[in-house]
Amino acid sequence: MILRVDRSGTRVDLIDPEQLRELKVVAPAGQTAAATASTFGDGARLEDDSHIWIPAETILALAGGRPAEWEERFRETLRAVEPAGWYDGRADAVRVHIETTP
């Protein structure tokens, strides 16, 4: 699943929502990691120049209209990656890698 930030840095499109094994943010070249994190709202938290913590609810909102089964698979995936540090169940937030586009 790709969370693509548009060139203006104001909108996020969810691309390939069925690919739950890989989650990343793709931001426009030149956009700082802090600016990318702010695109996801107050609940998002910048970890470093390469990672953002995004509330799971924010991702679910972007995926709006998906069947309940999709949300169940998404939640299962989060539980599976929690031991590796990619999900914080207490904060209900996902650690997401940031990539930039040319």
pLDDT tens digits, 21-47:
899 999 999 999 999 999 999 899 999
What are the tens digits of pLDDT across the range 33-91? 999 999 999 899 999 999 999 999 999 999 988 999 999 999 999 999 999 999 999 99
pTM of the predicted model, to two decimals? Answer: 0.93
Q: Which residues contact 59 (CB under 8 A, 6 or more apart)?
A: 3, 14, 23, 74, 94
Q: DSSP assignment, residue 6?
A: P
Instruction: Note the pLDDT of residue 87.
Output: 97
Rounded CA gap, 54 and 56, in Å?
6
Helices then strands, counting H and E runs in the chain, come out as 3, 7
C-beta separation of 102 from 29 below 8 A: yes
